[in-house]
């Protein structure tokens, strides 16, 4: 068994225009002061990181690594959640997702898709340049507007949708394969890859590509009422990244899984700071140890109630308390008799 690494923190929800959240050196110093050992970097936020430069300039990558190392940190993964979303986007969502792309691409679906694809290719090279082995992203969605089968989905629609999704992602997966880095899709409502079944459909469509893997985040499964512990039992071979995020689901007589278009505070399913929700992290970390997950435990803070700086401060010790230092010997080794093969055969009645 292996002891996973951590605690680490995803910087996306904390980046801002004021210190210490406005530059990579400042934010690294801040997270290190809280006890974190790693950072997951949002590749779209140029206050912290320049993705294209990292893909084309090894000197820049060394500068980034030096800043991170000076604070006693490591880079866990780069994230392209926003760019990955735009690799596949149904036109119904074009206006809503335009904000994920440069202003000059707004309203131009084909140019925006090409830009997103190029961003993913940059991410593959940047990950290689930084020596990273996993990458965090979203799949995007062509089918999400049909998630509930009313009106009835026409025959073959799902198959066509996943074939097109695979067609868009295969060149990206190949680029990450050349970079020796896994693509870890965060399975998330709003994405075509949002649970185990949809991941399996995609995996079949990309011919079980070795770089098509999973970013495991139990909070999204709580909100879907999916068994997030059994999920690890089923898909552990493909789990290559881990967001530590809490959530709760408290249905009532007026609202359930779909949330009634309510804001996050009033929804039955909502994200919470670590320890404030319902997620069984003891069970999760136990399974991660059992299945030799050797990546990072990365806090993703999303809570509609608690202040982010409080959540960040509480997150490092919470993760530390749950990381299992795996044993190197069996608990009953003290009783081992050191018996040889001949004795074992006699015990079995074979000699």
- Strands 239-244 and 5-10 turn out to be unpaired
Tokens of 11: 């910087």
Cα(155)–Cα(163) distance, rounded to whole angstroms? 14
Q: What is the pLDDT, as a whole number, of residue 335?
A: 66
Q: What is the pLDDT, as a whole number, of residue 339?
A: 76
Partners of residue 272 on adjacent β-strands: 246
Domain span including residue 149: 5-347
The residue ranges of the chain whose pLDDT is under 70 are: 334-335
CATH number of residue 10's parent domain: 3.20.20.150
Quickly count: other Cβ atoms within 10 Å of residue 238's Cβ: 19
Partners of residue 349 on adjacent β-strands: none
Burial 62-87 (b: 16+ CB within 10 A, else e): eebbebbeebebbbbbbbbbbbbbbb
Distant-in-sequence, close-in-space partners of 34: CB < 8 Å, separation ≥ 6: 9, 312, 313, 315, 316
**pTM score, two decimals?**
0.95
CB 48 within 8 Å of CB 27: yes
CB 338 within 8 Å of CB 344: no
- In the chain, which residue ranges form alpha helices assigned H by DSSP? 24-33, 51-56, 58-70, 81-87, 94-97, 109-129, 157-178, 196-205, 218-224, 228-235, 281-290, 308-322, 341-347
Q: What is the pLDDT, as a whole number, of residue 329?
A: 79
**Domain count of the fold of the chain:** 1
Quickly count: other Cβ atoms within 10 Å of residue 25's Cβ: 16
């Amino acid at each position: 068994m292996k002891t996973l690494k951590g605690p680490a923190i995803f910087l996306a929800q904390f980046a801002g225009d004021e210190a210490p959240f406005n530059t990579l050196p400042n934010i690294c110093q801040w997270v290190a002061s809280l006890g974190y050992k790693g950072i997951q970097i949002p590749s779209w936020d140029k206050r912290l990181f320049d993705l294209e430069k990292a893909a084309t300039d090894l000197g820049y990558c060394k500068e980034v690594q030096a800043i991170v190392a000076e604070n006693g940190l490591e880079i866990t993964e780069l994230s392209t959640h926003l760019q990955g979303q735009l690799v596949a986007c149904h036109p119904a969502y074009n206006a809503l997702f335009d904000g994920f792309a440069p202003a000059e691409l707004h309203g131009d679906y084909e140019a925006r898709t090409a830009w997103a694809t190029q961003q993913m290719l940059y991410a593959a090279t940047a990950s290689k340049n930084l020596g990273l082995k996993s990458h965090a992203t979203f799949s995007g969605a062509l089918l999400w507007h049909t998630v509930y089968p009313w009106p009835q989905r026409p025959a073959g629609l799902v198959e066509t949708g996943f074939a097109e999704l695979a067609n868009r992602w295969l060149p990206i997966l190949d680029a990450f394969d050349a970079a020796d880095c896994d693509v870890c899709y965060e399975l998330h409502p709003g994405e075509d890859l949002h649970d185990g079944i949809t991941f399996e459909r995609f995996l079949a469509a990309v011919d079980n590509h070795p770089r098509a893997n999973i970013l495991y985040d139990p909070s999204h499964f709580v909100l879907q009422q999916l068994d997030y512990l059994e999920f690890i039992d089923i898909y552990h071979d493909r789990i290559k990244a881990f967001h530590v995020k809490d959530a709760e689901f408290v249905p009532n007589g007026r609202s359930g899984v779909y949330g009634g278009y309510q804001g996050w505070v009033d929804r039955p399913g909502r994200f919470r700071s670590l320890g404030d929700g319902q997620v069984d992290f003891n069970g999760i970390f136990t399974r991660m140890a059992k299945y030799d997950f050797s990546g990072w435990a990365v806090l993703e803070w999303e809570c509609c109630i608690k202040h982010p700086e409080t959540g960040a401060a509480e997150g490092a010790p919470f993760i530390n308390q749950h990381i299992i230092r795996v044993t190197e010997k069996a608990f009953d080794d003290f009783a081992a008799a050191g018996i040889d093969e001949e004795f074992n055969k006699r015990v079995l009645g074979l000699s």
